[in-house]
Structure 1
Amino acid sequence: MRVGDGGLAGVTGIDTAAERPPSEAGLSAAAVDSIWGGVEAMYRSGAFPAVTFCLRRRGQIVLNRSIGYARGGGPGESRGSNARLAEPDTPVCMFSASKAVTAILVHKLAEEGGIDLDARVSHYLPEFTGGGKDRTTLAQVLSHRGGFPMFNVEGTDSGPETLLDWDRCIRLICEAPADKGGNRLAYHAITGGFILAEIIQRVTGMSVREYLDTRLRKPMGMRYFTYGLDKRSRGRVAVNYVAGQPVRFPISVLAKKALSADFAEVVNVSNTDYFMDAVVPAGNLYATAEELSRFYQMLLDGGVYEGRQVLAPETIRRAIKPAVRLRFDHTLKIPMRYSEGLMLGVNPFGLYGPMTGAAYGHLGFMNILGWADPSRDLSASLMVTGKAILGGHLLALGQLLSTISWQCRG
C-alpha cells in the first residue's frame, strides 16, 4: 500500500498488515508520525535514493515502511522504464551491519561448546601466527583488538576482488603482521569477519551460510538474511549509489584504508553478480529492514523468537557486555565503545541517539543501522542505498535518532 504526505505519497510503501496501532506499543499516533517524519526528512536530503525502516516497540511493529526507488532513482540517474520503487520487503545489502550477525554466530558456537571465546585464534587456525598474532584471542578479534584491522601486506594487491577469494583472504590475514594485538583498538572493517567465519567452518564442518541458516535464518523464518543473494532474488534487490558530497582527501585516504578499495569502487562492486555470489562475513549479508529489526528483537527478548529459544540468555549477556570502554578507534578515527561483536551506545549522544548508553547494534556502510535499546524497549533498523560520508543527510539522521529516543522514552 502506498500512502504518505502529499509530496511523497507516490514513493512511500507501508506494510499495513504488519503495523500495529501505536497504542499497543505505548506510543501515540503523533509520536509515530513524528518518527516517520524524520525518515521522510532523510529521504528529502537527497542522499538516499531508497530508505527502508522498521521500528518495534514493546515487541510490536509500529513502522515497517519504504520510501524512494530501489532502482533508477540514484543521483543524476534518469527514471526510465527500468525504475523500480522500493518496498518494505526490498532486500538491501547490510554491509558492515553484517558483523553483528557473524559475531552472534560465533557466540552461538561458544554456547554449543564448539569454541572458547577466550582461547587463542591459533588454537583453531594453527596458521594464524604471522607477526605475533599467535596470542590473539577470539574475544579480542570480536572487540576489534585483534591487531589486523586491514589487508596491509606491503606490495600486495588487496582491492575488492580479493574479498571474493576466500582462501587468499585467510592466507593474507594469517601471514600479516599484528599491530599491538590485544591492546590497540582499531575497527576490523573486513578482516575479522573472515577469521571468525573460518573458525565456524573448521569447527562445525559446515559453511558459514549453512550455520547461519540452521541457527538463525530458518528458526526465525527469514526470507533473506544470508550472505550474498540468490539469483532469483536479484530482481528485487536495492541498488547502491554513490551520493552526498565528493569524498576528498584526507577522508578518501582513510576510507580506502578501511575498505581496502576506493569509496566509489566499493559501491560499484556491491551491485555486481559476483559480489552477490560471494560470502563476505563482515559485509554482504542481505536482509529487509523488518528482518534486521526481528533479529534485534530476538536479542532484546533474551534469545526467544515466537516461543522458541534461539539463543541462551547468558549468551546474549556476554555478547552485549562492554568489552572496551569508550576509546579512540584508530581505524574510524572517533571514540567508540564495543562489546564482543557489537557497537555500543554512548551517553550523552552516540550512534543510536541521545542517552542511548544501554543500546547495542551495528553501523553499516554508510548510515545503515540496526540496534536494540533495552531502556526504551525498542528494536529498529534503518536501511539506505545512498553511500554518502558528508552532507546534509547527517543532520537529518541525527534528528531522526533524537526523535526516536525522545518519543520512545519511558
Structure 2
Amino acid sequence: MRLLRKKLASRFNATPLPRDIESLIDIDTANESAPEDTDLTQAGVDNIWADTLKLFRTGMHPMLSICVRRRGKIVLNRSIGYQRGDAHSEDAVVASINTPVCLFSASKSISAMLVHLLEEQGKIHLMDPLSYYIPEFAENGKGYITIYQLLAHRAGVPGLGENVDSSLLFDREAAVAAICEADPIDHLGRTSAYHAITGGFLLDELIRRTTGKTVSQFLNTHIRKPLDMRYFRYGLTKRDMPSAAENRFTGLPLGNQIGETLKNVLGLDYMEVMELTNTDEFMGAVLPSGNMYATAEEASRFFQMMLDYGEYNGQRIMQPLTVHRAIQEAGKAEMDASLKLPMRYSPGFMLGGSPAGIYGKGSHYAYGHLGLSNVFCWADPERDISVAILNSGKPVLGSHMLALPRLLWGISRNCPPVRDMQDQSLDFLAV
C-alpha cells in the first residue's frame, strides 16, 4: 500500500509529506469560538477540519490555510503545511496562520469594491462609459463600454493579446495603452468573458484619474487600515517577501487543450506564470487583478465586513447600499467565452448557484471569488458565514479533484442556513 501511495504521489507530482502531519498544523486557539455559540455543532466543525486535512493529504498543496466565520465569530482559523520546501527539504519552513498567501484572482473582489467606493463618494457612476474618465479607451469602438460592464467581465478586452511579454505585467502605463488600443471582442459589452489581468489595470487607472491616488493608497485609506490588516496589500514589502508562501505547480501535466485555454485566459503559458509568481518582481508589483497577499483570517475578515453590510467593529467602512449593489447578479449563469465554463457574475464577484455552485450545495446567495488555482474566498448571507481557503499548490488536474469539492460541499452542509433570504427585510439598508 505504501509503495502504491508513492507511485501515485510521483505520478501526480505531489508534495512530499511526513507520515505524521501534526507538527505542520497551527491552530488559532486564542480566537476560535465554541461552535455552539454560532449555531454550529462540534461535530460539524470537526467534519470541516477533517475534510481540510484530507485535501492536504493529497499532496497537491504544500500549504493550506482556512478561516471560517459564522455569526461573525471565528470557528476555524488554522493552517497546515510548509511555507517553503517539503518533507524532503533540509531547509523547509513550516507555515503558520500568519503566513501571507497570494490571493491571485480573488484579489479582484477587493479591487472591485474600491470602484464601488468611488461611486459611493460621488466620483463616478457605474453606468458611465469608462472612456468618460479614460478617453483613450474609446479606441476601436469601445466608447460605450461602461464601468459596470468592466466589473462584470463584459468590457470586451479579456486578454492582453497573444505571445505577451511578461514584462508588460510590470509596466502599468504600457499595459493600459495596450488595452486601450485593443480591438474588443464585443463593442456592446454583451459577451461574458473573464478578464483575468486587464480589468485590474483599468480599475487602477480609473482610481488614479478620479482621486489622484494610486490603487494601493486608496486601498490603505478605505479598507486595509480601517480593517486593521497586517498584510492585505497588492504585493509585499521587501521585508515581508521571505515570509510569503512559496507557490508550486502540482498535479498532472497540462494537455494541449487545457494549456491553451489557460494561456488565453492568463496571457502567458501556465508554467511561465508559476515561475513568475515566486520572483521578487511579482511579489513587489502592484497587480489589482492578481497579487494581493493576505492571511486566510484577513480575507475572511473582509468578507465578514461585506456580510455586515459595510461595518466592522462598529466602524462604517462603506454604506450598506454600496455592498448591496456590488453583490447583485449581472445576469443569469451563461457560458464564459474565456473560461469555457458557465459563470454567474455580479459587478465584482463570482456568484454561487442552486442547486449547487462553486461555493458548494445550495449557494445561490453566496458571493466571492476564486484565485489560481484552488483559492476560494466567499460570503454566504443565507448561512451567515465568511470563508477563506488559501493555498500554495497550483494544480489544475490532480488528486485533489474529489477532496476539494468534498471540502466545499462539507462547509455548506455543516453550516446550515439561518436566514430566509426571500423574506429578509431590507431595513438594514436604511443607514
Give the corresponding residue for 2:12.
none
Q: Distance in 2 between matches of 1:319 and 1:46?
A: 36
Give the corresponding residue for 1:143.
152
Report the CA distance between 1:59 and its aligned residue: 0.5
Q: Is the 8 A contact 1:130 1:178 kept in 2?
A: no
Alignment length, in residue pairs? 399
Aligned pair partner of 1:88 in 74, 78, 97: 97
Q: Distance in 1 between matches of 2:165 and 2:369?
A: 24
Give the corresponding residue for 1:159.
165
Q: Deviations over 1:4-63 (max 9, x none)?
A: xx9321111101111111111111111111000111011011110000100001101010
Q: Distance in 1 between matches of 2:141 and 2:402?
A: 43
Structure 2, unaligned runs of 5 or more: 1-18, 418-431
Report the CA distance between 1:201 and its aligned residue: 1.0
Amino acid at match of 1:176: A
List aligned pairs for 1:324-403, cutoff 5 A: 324-403=331-410
Alignment pair present for 1:55 and 2:68: yes
Q: Distance in 1 between matches of 2:248 and 2:39?
A: 37
C-alpha RMSD of matched pairs (Å)? 1.2
Give the corresponding residue for 1:66.
79
Give the corresponding residue for 1:120.
129
Alignment pair present for 1:305 and 2:327: no
Q: Deviations over 1:136-185 (max 9, x none)?
A: 00000000000000012x6xx52322110101100000000011131111
SS in 2 for 1:295: helix
List aligned pairs for 1:207-356, cutoff 5 A: 207-356=214-363
Report the CA distance between 1:324 and its aligned residue: 2.1
Q: Distance in 1 between matches of 2:165 and 2:359?
A: 31
Structure 1, unaligned runs of 5 or more: 1-5
SS in 2 for 1:13: strand
Report the CA distance between 1:218 and its aligned residue: 0.1
List aligned pairs for 1:72-111, cutoff 5 A: 72-73=85-86, 78-80=88-90, 82-111=91-120
Alignment pair present for 1:190 and 2:203: no
Structure 1-normalised TM-score? 0.96
Alignment pair present for 1:21 and 2:21: no
Q: Distance in 2 between matches of 1:235 and 1:161?
A: 23
Q: Is the 8 A contact 2:332 2:344 kept in 1?
A: yes
SS in 2 for 1:398: helix
Structure 2-normalised TM-score? 0.91
Q: Distance in 2 between matches of 1:159 and 1:300?
A: 40
List aligned pairs for 1:193-204, cutoff 5 A: 193-204=200-211
SS in 1 for 2:370: strand
Alignment pair present for 1:169 and 2:175: yes
Report the CA distance between 1:229 and its aligned residue: 0.3
Report the CA distance between 1:78 and its aligned residue: 3.3
Q: Is the 8 A contact 1:143 1:324 kept in 2?
A: no
Q: Distance in 2 between matches of 1:160 and 1:394?
A: 30
Give the corresponding residue for 2:14.
none
SS in 2 for 1:250: helix
Q: Distance in 1 between matches of 2:149 and 2:402?
A: 34
SS in 2 for 1:199: helix
SS in 2 for 1:379: strand
Report the CA distance between 1:260 and its aligned residue: 1.1
- Of 386-395 and 375-384, deviating more is 386-395
SS in 2 for 1:100: helix
Aligned pair partner of 1:30 in 36, 43, 46: 43
